[in-house]
Amino acid sequence: MVSQEPEFEAALPRPVMRNAAGLRPSVLEEARDVAAFSHLLANLVRRDLTVRYKRSVLGFFWTMLNPLLLMIILSVVFSTVFRFAVKHFEVYFLSAYLGWTFFAQTTTGAMSSLAWNGALMKRVRVPKVIFAFSTVLSGLANLGLSCVPLFAIMFIVGAPLTPALLFLPVSFLILAVFVFGVSLGMSAAAVYFDDVAQMYGVALMGLMYLTPIFYPIEIIPQKYLWLIRLNPLVYLFELARAPIYKGCMPSLHDVVISAACAVVAMVVGTTVFRRLAPGFYRHL
Amino acid sequence: MTTSPAIEFCNVTMRYRLPDRRIPTLKEWAIQRLTAKLRYNDFLALQDVTFTADGGETLGIIGANGAGKSTLLRVAAGILAPSAGEAVVRGRVAPIIELGTGFDPELSGRENIFFNGALLGRSRAEMRRRFDEIVEFSALANFIDMPLRTYSTGMVARLAFSVATTVDADIYLLDEVLSVGDESFGMRCQERIERFRRDGGTILLVSHNLPTVERLCRQALWLHEGRVMARGPAPEVVGQYHAGAFSPSFAGRFEGG
């Protein structure tokens, strides 16, 4: 809808904005637009992180404490009550749970972020994708931070810390691309319909149980295994679980499937978002 | 050398396509879609609007509620894409469509200044350069590191106005900003507008306050139901608006100016 090109007159560059009917910026132009608003992006991420940590008494350590407490509860529940025969259950659980938290919090956060900033988008011209993007970036920062207590727990329970852990940034990056795609699509849909956010909450709950996060995949009966295999999160979480829990690189098979899922999510999410974005003003 | 106008609207039409009733949920939408009961109404907020504003010009935009004034500003700011036609804007734009847009109550006054600057596409370095000026104009130096939720409404308005008007811009889009706040605040706003003018800024000023428009703007544009009714020297256009708006043929369609 808006293209900006620098025009040089006299000494100062005067940007020229052409706002014409049917003028849709390409994906590349939109990416450039986001880059031009990098200050806003930095501010949004900083606000996300500082507001979250400043307000709680334990501050920044809350991120660390939260998975720690959860780990204690869940390892008691699952290793004593359900008796899954999983060695280092805490590590097994956390290796996927951190990714799950990132996925669930970011996609939900992106939906509310776009809705909350609706008033803003009516009053200043900002790239609309920037809200989902900043939510993914701050989610990624939180994910990185929560690795600190994870490594501490691994050290305490005596799980091996191997060089394969160096693969984690790649795992998280692929997951982040997937999460960004889902966030774009879901946040755009949530602007149009009030019930999307509620339905998504229920869907998330179901999806969590369909993903081997706190149970070993082996407990799934053979005949339902295909259902689990349709879930992209299984492969995406395996990218982190292999280096963290198994101490080895993920298989090429898993990496390729995960990357493909991430690309598909991005393409679908971007398409949905670009399709719906021109109508946001009617709903916000 | 001829300079091209700062703002150029060429046959800009803004069509809102609204369903005949609001469909809040996906479930309902699916039902409506299947039963094909959904009908859309077209609403033209702007119809074939053509005008130019030269660099350094202060153009007042007048008209009744719902005449399309705010829509026009939003198209000029690039917030809304026109349904037909084209708008070209040459220069850095500071849209001041509502004071306090994007303020976060949890952040301090200082942090909000930088955040607001970023919303307008200004860098941290640029905001740092202008920071003292903003704080001084707002007269909030003692409170600048306190969270915004501790501010009074008047303090928030003061800070918002200072930030909005202290960024470097070539074009200012002002929507009713003169009508908020008390008298002394209004005076400060007008002083600022005078300064933009002296600095050669182009201003689009939307206001219901006709004396203000006549005082601040040499030129004015009258919008009625999305159409340009008149464009010319402010006193003339205001006169025409008065004559037109309150003539019997318009009665009932206007809520007053």
pLDDT tens readout for residues A42-74: 988 988 887 666 666 666 677 667 767 877 787
* Same domain as A128, residue A1: no
CA distances from A122 to A189, A281, B162 (A): 18, 7, 21
| pLDDT at site B95 | 83
| pLDDT at site A129 | 93
* Same domain as A74, residue A198: yes
Q: Taking a C-beta distance cutoff of 8 angstroms, is the pair A19, A1 a contact? A: yes
Average pLDDT over residues A252-275: 96
CB pairs under 8 A between A and B: 124
Does A226 map to a domain?
yes
Does A31 map to a domain?
no
Does A240 map to a domain?
yes
| pLDDT at site B20 | 67
CA distances from B146 to A170, A259, B140, B143, B242 (A): 40, 45, 10, 5, 47
pLDDT digits (tens, 9 = 90+) for A114-160: 888 887 888 888 899 999 999 999 999 989 988 888 898 889 888 88
Sequence-ordered strand ranges (E) for chain B: 7-19, 40-53, 58-62, 84-90, 93-96, 171-175, 202-206, 219-224, 227-233
| pLDDT at site B37 | 67
Q: Which residue of B has its CA nearest to A33?
A: B121
Contact criterion met (CB < 8 Å) for B122 and A196? no
Q: What's the pLDDT band for A220 if we cut at 50, 70, 90?
A: confident
Task: Please report the DSSP string for B168-202 in residue order.
Answer: --SEEEEESGGGSS-HHHHHHHHHHHHHHHHTT-E
* Same domain as A50, residue A5: no
DSSP B229: E
Tokens of B153: 């409404």
Q: Which of A117, A125, A192 comes nearest B77 by C-beta?
A: A125
- In this structure, the strands spanning B219-224 and B227-233 are antiparallel
Give the rounded percent of residues in chain A with a pLDDT score beyond 70: 89
- Rounded to whole angstroms, the Cα distance separating A94 from A64 reads 12
* Same domain as A150, residue A46: yes
Taken in order B195, B198, B204, B207, is the CA torsion positive or negative?
positive
| pLDDT at site A266 | 97
Does A206 map to a domain?
yes
* Same domain as A86, residue A4: no
- Closest alpha carbon to A39 in A130, A142, A141, A136: A130
- Closest alpha carbon to B92 in B160, B193, B173, B12: B173
Tokens of B210: 């006709």
- Rounded to whole angstroms, the Cα distance separating A56 from B60 reads 49
Tokens of B68: 């399309």
| pLDDT at site B2 | 54
Q: What's the pLDDT band for A230 if we cut at 50, 70, 90?
A: very high
Does A32 map to a domain?
no
| pLDDT at site A55 | 61
Tokens of A137: 């970036």
Q: Which residues contact A188 (CB under 8 A, 6 or more apart)?
A: A114, A272, A273, A275, A276, A277, A280
One-letter amino acid for residue B127 of the chain: M
Q: Residue B88 pLDDT more than 90? A: yes
- Rounded to whole angstroms, the Cα distance separating B67 from B226 reads 5
Q: Taking a C-beta distance cutoff of 8 angstroms, is the pair B223, B68 a contact? A: yes
Please identify which residue in the block is written with the tokens 């052409």: A18
Strand order in the sheet with A2-8: A2-8, A13-20, B84-90, B7-19, B40-53
- Rounded to whole angstroms, the Cα distance separating B47 from A50 reads 46
| Residue A273 half-sphere exposure toward CB, CA atoms < 13 A | 27
Neighbours of A230 (CB within 10 A): 8
Structural domains in chain B? 100-169 (1.10.8)
Distance in Å, alpha carbon of A248 to nearest chain B alpha carbon = 43
Tokens of B237: 């256009």
- Rounded to whole angstroms, the Cα distance separating A127 from A41 reads 10
| pLDDT at site B12 | 93
Q: Residue B98 pLDDT more than 80? A: no
Does A276 map to a domain?
yes
Per-chain mean pLDDT for chain B: 83
Nearest 10 degrees: Cα torsion A276, A278, A280, A281: -160
- Rounded to whole angstroms, the Cα distance separating B50 from B62 reads 15
Contact criterion met (CB < 8 Å) for B95 and A125? yes
Contact criterion met (CB < 8 Å) for A40 and B89? no
Distance in Å, alpha carbon of A255 to nearest chain B alpha carbon = 35
* Same domain as A50, residue A2: no
Does A52 map to a domain?
yes
Which of the residues A123, A133, A283 would you substitute to probe the B interface, choosing the one with the greatest number of B C-beta atoms within 10 Å? A123
* Same domain as A1, residue A140: no
Contact criterion met (CB < 8 Å) for B88 and A16? yes
- Rounded to whole angstroms, the Cα distance separating B82 from A19 reads 7
Q: Residue A9 pLDDT more than 50? A: no
One-letter amino acid for residue A55 of the chain: R
pTM, to two decimals: 0.85
Give the rounded percent of residues in chain B with a pLDDT score beyond 70: 89
Per DSSP, chain A holds a count of helices (H) and strands (E) of: 12, 2
pLDDT digits (tens, 9 = 90+) for B155-188: 888 888 888 888 778 898 888 776 656 677 677 7
* Same domain as A21, residue A78: no
- Rounded to whole angstroms, the Cα distance separating B145 from B140 reads 10
Distance in Å, alpha carbon of A127 to nearest chain B alpha carbon = 10
Show the CA angle centred on residue B55, arms to residues B51 and B57, nearest 5°. Answer: 70
Per CB-CB distance under 8 Å, the chain B contacts of A130 are none
Tokens of B12: 């800009």
DSSP B4: P
| pLDDT at site A258 | 97
B121: alpha, beta or left? (left if phi > 0; alpha if psi -120 to 50): left
| pLDDT at site A1 | 47
pLDDT digits (tens, 9 = 90+) for B192-223: 888 888 888 899 999 888 888 888 888 999 99
* Same domain as A22, residue A44: no
Average pLDDT over residues A198-221: 91
* Same domain as A205, residue A102: yes
Q: State the residue range of the domain holding A4.
A: 1-26
- Rounded to whole angstroms, the Cα distance separating A188 from A53 reads 28
Interior/surface letters B144-154, b for 16+ CB within 10 angstroms, e for the rest = beebbeebeee
Per CB-CB distance under 8 Å, the chain B contacts of A281 are 79-80
* Same domain as A217, residue A115: yes
* Same domain as A53, residue A9: no
| Residue A152 half-sphere exposure toward CB, CA atoms < 13 A | 10
Total tally of structural domains belonging to chain A: 2
| pLDDT at site A83 | 66
| pLDDT at site A8 | 39
